[in-house]
Structure 1
């Protein structure tokens, strides 16, 4: 008789529990683990969470984007993005200007303080990710990153 925690063969011949054999479950759990580490780093820098940093990093890259373009690029609902931007503006990390092409459109950009936070969080994020992935050899990390990017690109091509 086998125990519930004992590895079992799956339909594709790979040994493992039902959870570890399910790619969707694994991807979700890995994203949760990395997201939790990144949320901690973001909060330590005074941000609400990783979404604040994603928005701040995007608006600090020197490319002018409308709020709608930012929402689409990050996969954030535009109403949620407005709340995030409002908080970043209140904290002095972002300013909004009007588009020269359409005065109804706002263009967010990082302030010098926002750019400084992006740099600090990026360093802390890399350290947190390296800590989380310490058991994975660097060559395997590169493959892992490449495979994840392939999945993202395939999704973008279908959209």
Structure 2
């Protein structure tokens, strides 16, 4: 970024800009941590969702739950499947539909990257008191929950 662009960015103080910039910095650190295991941050999001499922979701339902469009999710599942982290099985009632399932290797990688992501979050918020971290999370959750507009775009 050139000096003029840096100066322009430094002048920004709107909530949108601050949230966006904080998300960029945290996201870059999260991506770097995931890349240590040849994973993307989005791939980690998918693996985490598959680890937490008490029931199987179709690719379509998984994409809707994660706010990922069909093309983006399919490409991510392709990468995860090539890496041996997920398999796509036929739906028991509709052979045309695929159900992504995490493998044992996928669970191991997800757990390790989750630990790295937790460390990244601790480092990112190291300048805050524990109560401030809890307050920040609670405020962000309230802002997200109170937004009445439609969800749009990817969650990552």
Give the aligned partner of residue 115 of structure 1.
Answer: 107
In structure 2, distance between residues paired with 1:69 and 1:102: 14
If the length of structure 1 is used for normalisation, what is the TM-score?
A: 0.82
Please state whether the residue corresponding to 2:12 is helix, strand or coil. Answer: helix
Which shifted more, 100-109 or 113-122? 100-109
Structure 1: 5+ residue stretches without partners: 1-16
Give the aligned partner of residue 19 of structure 1.
Answer: 12
**Residue 96 of structure 1: CA displacement?**
0.8
**Residue 35 of structure 1: CA displacement?**
0.2
Superimposed CA distance per residue, residues 79-136 of structure 1 (whole angstroms, 9 cap, x where no aligned partner): 1110100110010000111112322211101100000011101111010111111001
| Aligned-residue CA RMSD (Å) | 1.7
In structure 2, distance between residues paired with 1:91 and 1:128: 24
**Pairing partner for 2:46 from 31, 55, 61:** 55
Tell me: higher relative CO, structure 1 or 2? Use CA pairs within 8 A at least 6 residues apart: 2
Give the aligned partner of residue 144 of structure 1.
Answer: 136
In structure 1, distance between residues paired with 2:73 and 2:48: 14
Structure 2: 5+ residue stretches without partners: 1-9, 152-156
